[in-house]
Chain A
Amino acid sequence: MRVGVITFPGTLDDVDAQRAVRYADGEAVPLWHGDHDLKGVDAVIVPGGFSYGDYLRCGAIARFAPVMQEVIEVANKGMPVLGICNGFQILAEAHLLPGALVRNHKLHFVCRDQWLKVENNSTAWTTRYDKGAEILVPLKSGEGGYQADEETLKELEGESRVAFRYVGGNPNGSRNDIAGITNARGNVVGLMPHPEHAIDALTGPTDDGLGMFLSLLDTLVKA
């Protein structure tokens, strides 16, 4: 399984996303923001960081990168795409996912080990989890507050498109405690917390995050 990991100027967690792919026995393929080239990968990860310094709005500039044009195309055709943190922000700006991410309600950057509930285990990235499973994964962001209008929220909840929800307290003011969502098809998932930092109890709070990358493997094998 070949998984593309994009690097924009300012991207930080591409290295860690690549490692998570390797831990799941996949091949991590670095993708450059300026290329119209996905190198024939089977899935794409848009990783965390501060692409373009978060100028204008988080992800507002990255979403126009040449590589993103290709990502939008393949996402609409069903390729699994995962947006982590800044990646989620980029996917929202690119309208691959609804809503937007704004400044944390308490205004501080928050880095903490966060409990999440897996609400939807039928997306391309969550099949390895039990529905309702609680996982412990790092959250580290300053603009993680998920916002959407009432209609969108109703739609997300009604169609079970909330993929992850914060439990044990809302760390950033996200509506409905939403930590991550999926598109209607279930191939595009975006979340603020960082599963790629929870793949090994040596360097993370748990290895609960590895499941997302293993889920992808299952998805690709089945496809």
Chain B
Amino acid sequence: MARVVVDVMPKPEILDPQGQAVANALPRLGFAGVTAVRQGKHFELEVADDVDDATLAKIAESFLANPVIEDWTVRRVEA
């Protein structure tokens, strides 16, 4: 078994109101110096050893992310 992490982030040109709301709130909470925030999703998958990288890419691209508005990365990590 392997562990795979897929991170999905909104494309830079896409409006990210949630990230913006976080960035706006930080100064109000007393935290200075954070100039920008983007909010995305982090998926952790437990996969069988015979699931190859190409398949993982397909999973990310066709389901976990919406390529119209999101970028994605896939990486294998230590279990």
Contact = CB atoms under 8 A, between A and B. Distances in A.
In the complex they form, do A and B come into direct contact, defined as C-beta atoms under 8 angstroms apart?
Answer: yes
Interface of A: 56-57, 60, 92-93, 98-100, 102-107, 145, 147-149, 173
- Helix, strand, loop or mixed for chain A's interface? loop
Interface stretch (B13-21, B30-38, B49-57, B71-79): B13-21
B13 A106 contact: no
Nearest to B64: A56
21 contacts: A56-B63, A57-B66, A60-B63, A60-B66, A92-B68, A98-B68, A99-B68, A100-B68, A100-B69, A102-B10, A102-B14, A102-B15, A102-B17, A102-B69, A104-B17, A105-B17, A145-B15, A145-B17, A147-B69, A149-B13, A149-B68
Nearest to B11: A149
A82 B32 CA distance: 48
A107 B21 contact: yes
A100 B66 contact: yes
Contacts of B21: 107
A103 B68 contact: no
Contact of B15 (A56, A93, A99, A173): A173
* 8 tightest Cβ-Cβ pairs between the two chains A and B: A100-B68, A100-B69, A105-B17, A107-B17, A147-B14, A103-B17, A147-B69, A100-B66
Contacts of A149: 13, 68
A100 B68 CA distance: 7
A98 B66 CA distance: 12
Nearest to A64: B63
A58 to B, nearest CB: 10
Contacts of A57: 66
